Structure 1
Amino acid sequence: MAGRKHTAKKSNPAFTLVLLALAVFAMLAALWYWSESALPVNGEDAQEPSAPASQAASVPQATPAPTPSPEPTPLPEVLLTDEAAATLDAFLDAQPSTVSVWLRDLSTGDTYTYGESSGFYCASTLKAPYALWLAQRDEAGEIDLDTEWNGSTGWDRIYSMISVSSNDAAHGLAGMWPATADTGFQEFLAQLGFAAPEGCEITKEEGIHGWTTARDGGLSMLALYEYFETGTENARQLEQAFLDAQHDYLWFPAPAAKKYGSWDNAFHDMGIVYSQRPYILSVFTSYGTQDEPPAEGIEMMQQLGRLVAEVLGQGE
């Protein structure tokens, strides 16, 4: 029996290419699966995508440094020292008549007084708080200073009462709005701090009455100063009347809102001095006559005004 012959098969090129393609596909699939399985799950430990090169090279913005708190403004230098007080005391001790002084440095609030307990007839200095009382009552709607009678308004009369110390203007105002205990004027003075407000009044029939001190005058000017600072229309109008006061007894180194008074044994002057270092000076004395203030009293006022300005650093 003839033996069976073994014949070798020839390879098929197309089949080989298919196998090779399958192998490559399997390899790519394995690589894809591996890369996907290596990614973070649910974003844990994930990093933001890299920024473009143009952004990656940008410089971070610096956080602005906090603005330091401003240093507190130091109080002005105290000038009403013991030495200054001794200088003023020596001058006042040498005066032949009774003199009382109240001085306040408005920059620091420091106050100098001399003969504070001495009382004097108020004379026309009482017109200052009276004018303030009227202006504030007008502002509150209690009175109307625009009211006109006999050809002048209340404001016209206030201006004359202060700027030239007109008694006729004061009496005219008091005829319309008397300054008495019944009308609340004495209570107003008590609120300002007057030592003896009882008896202080202005009426049409009796004129001006009252016993006051240099401190009372100073407190009147301080109340006016604070009122002027409000800047209301009434405050500005009233301040102008005091700035236009037509007398120059106390010497001041700068414009001053002021008021004087003069009668028998009473010669007073007081002012708010608007210098670089503002202050209030009130001087009450026993100089004075029913006529013009005596020359020696005026000379004392001039010298004292210059001395006060000097110790406050406001001299010529």
Structure 2
Amino acid sequence: MPAKPDHDALRQEMLAFIKQQPAAFGVYFADINAGVSFGIDENKPFPAASTVKLPVVLYLNTLAAGGKIDWRERIPYQPATDFQDGCGILRHHAREGDVYSLRTLATLAITLSDNIAYRMLLRRLGRERVAHFMRSLGGRVVFPRGQNVTTAADMGAYLWGLLRFTARHGRLGERLLDDLANTIYHVGLPGELPERTLVAHKEGEITGVANDVGVVFGERPFILSVLTRGWTETAPGFKAIARLARLAWDALI
């Protein structure tokens, strides 16, 4: 029988590593099978960056599961409200009046972290309705004063919501997990894990900010939400996130 993980020792190991870093961290960890969780500044607000796309697309999936939206519904692109530079391909290809299905927008928002796809979804769904959904999952810091801010604990709550959704709605949930596991960004949580480890996650990056939140599957699956800020370059931030994920992986073996 495998040894029982020492969650207190893991927290101390993570904390010691974080203290060596030049940036601020918020961490939420949960051992799914054991039902044990802990945090490190998990209630401290951080810029969410693109991690916010996870609860938005989860809300869309929840509506689809309840028959309240049709994946084939097509949304017209409105540059005045939808354009945002940065990640994604729609900024290069979308023209005013072009239409995209909800399914296409959801896939682009997760797999390519497409900012325009996200903004189109948020416009269609309504920010207040999205915020209500996030709070229903346990989110406490939800678009404060309209800002895209969150906490590691809140992101952990959304990941628990993702797992519950997957348990209830097998095919829809598996499709969402597949998108999250096959994004083009894999330098955070999966960075130091064994090859072919299934990691359903959403990274986020803006100036000085490196975030990654997700579920690492294996014999002992776990949730890990890591938000950081204060980097002069974000690459070391994602490397630090990868190290924390590896510490968790090793502790649960």
Question: TM-score when scaled to structure 2?
Answer: 0.81
Pick from 241, 254, 268: which aligns with 2:211? 268
**Structure 2: which 5+ runs fail to align?**
76-97
Aligned counterparts, 1:22-61, within 5 A: none
Kindly indicate whether residue 199 of structure 2 is the aligned counterpart of residue 199 of structure 1: no
Pick from 136, 158, 161: which aligns with 1:220? 158
> Is the contact made by 1:160 and 1:166 (CA closer than 8 Å) also made in structure 2?
yes
C-alpha spacing 1:216/1:82, structure 2 compared with 1 (3 Å): same
Aligned counterparts, 1:249-260, within 5 A: 249-250=188-189, 251=191, 252-253=193-194, 254-260=197-203
Q: Which residue of 1 aligns with 2:107?
A: 159
Distance 2:207 2:251 in 1: 31
Pick from 1, 10, 13: which aligns with 1:87? 13
Q: 4+ runs of 1 displaced by more than 6 Å?
A: none
How far residue 175 of structure 1 moved from its aligned partner, in angstroms, is 3.2
Residue identity opposite 1:83 in structure 2: A
Q: Which residue of 2 aligns with 1:243?
A: 181
How far residue 152 of structure 1 moved from its aligned partner, in angstroms, is 2.9
C-alpha spacing 1:247/1:198, structure 2 compared with 1 (3 Å): closer
Kindly indicate whether residue 172 of structure 2 is the aligned counterpart of residue 234 of structure 1: yes
Superposed CA offset, 1:249-300 (max 9, x none): 22344111110111133211011111111111110000457xxx62221221
Residue identity opposite 1:172 in structure 2: M
C-alpha spacing 1:80/1:164, structure 2 compared with 1 (3 Å): farther
Pick from 300, 310, 315: which aligns with 2:240? 300
Question: TM-score when scaled to structure 1?
Answer: 0.66
How far residue 200 of structure 1 moved from its aligned partner, in angstroms, is 7.8
Q: Which residue of 2 aligns with 1:147?
A: 73
Distance 2:37 2:209 in 1: 23
Residue identity opposite 1:217 in structure 2: M
Q: Which residue of 2 aligns with 1:13?
A: none
User: SS where residue 236 of structure 1 aligns?
Assistant: helix
Residue identity opposite 2:142 in structure 1: P
Identity %: 26
C-alpha spacing 1:288/1:166, structure 2 compared with 1 (3 Å): farther
Residue identity opposite 1:94 in structure 2: Q
C-alpha spacing 1:261/1:142, structure 2 compared with 1 (3 Å): same
> Is the contact made by 1:80 and 1:111 (CA closer than 8 Å) also made in structure 2?
no
> Is the contact made by 1:268 and 1:284 (CA closer than 8 Å) also made in structure 2?
yes
How far residue 198 of structure 1 moved from its aligned partner, in angstroms, is 4.8
Superposed CA offset, 1:205-239 (max 9, x none): xxxx4221111111111111121122443222222
User: SS where residue 157 of structure 2 aligns?
Assistant: helix
Q: Which residue of 2 aligns with 1:286?
A: 229
Residue identity opposite 1:87 in structure 2: E
Q: Which residue of 2 aligns with 1:51?
A: none
Pick from 182, 191, 211: which aligns with 2:149? 211
User: SS where residue 103 of structure 1 aligns?
Assistant: strand
How far residue 81 of structure 1 moved from its aligned partner, in angstroms, is 3.1
User: SS where residue 168 of structure 2 aligns?
Assistant: coil
User: SS where residue 283 of structure 1 aligns?
Assistant: strand
Pick from 164, 173, 190: which aligns with 2:121? 173
> Is the contact made by 2:215 and 2:222 (CA closer than 8 Å) also made in structure 1?
yes
Distance 1:228 1:98 in 2: 32
Distance 2:223 2:177 in 1: 14
Q: Which moved more, 1:99-108 or 1:138-147?
A: 138-147
Pick from 29, 34, 43: which aligns with 1:117? 43
Bigger Rg over Cα: 1
**CA RMSD, 1 decimal:** 2.2
Superposed CA offset, 1:93-146 (max 9, x none): 221110111010011111121112321111111110100111111222222221
